[in-house]
Amino acid sequence: MARDTDDKRNFALRGDGDDETSVFSGRTPRQAALKAARRLDAADGEENASREELRLREKGTHKVHIYEGWAWNEEAPSDKPDWMPDTITEANVSKQGIEHLEAL
């Protein structure tokens, strides 16, 4: 059965061990991983950003999507709206694989 394109899925960010600290939603695991990566400590530029492993378990399944994520600060575009700050946090992720948890 194909997924409806408007279906949001929930992904729990897994910390050390089995604790799940936050939940991010998105249509794809990558979309949720990008949201999680924006919460990382941002560097001065993309080339200076340290990469961290992000493990996102898809709620309702035993799949853990593993990404490498990094974030950096950047100047906002010149045509930014008034409410936007002068510096913004950008992020990127790279998929490392999928791990399947054993059913309890």
Q: Decide if pLDDT at 1 tops 80.
A: no
Q: Decide if pLDDT at 80 tops 70.
A: yes
Please give the pLDDT value at position 60. 92
| pLDDT tens for each residue of 36-66 | 999 999 999 899 999 999 999 999 999 999 9
Among candidate residues 23, 28, 22, 24, the one with its CA nearest the CA of residue 6: 28
Please give the pLDDT value at position 39. 94
CA distance 21 to 72: 22
Half-sphere exposure in the Cβ direction for 15 (13 Å, CA):
5
Q: Per the structure block, which two tokens stand in for 23? A: 């939940």
Q: What H or E segment, with its residue span, contains residue 30?
A: helix 29-37
| pLDDT tens for each residue of 15-34 | 887 788 899 999 999 999 99
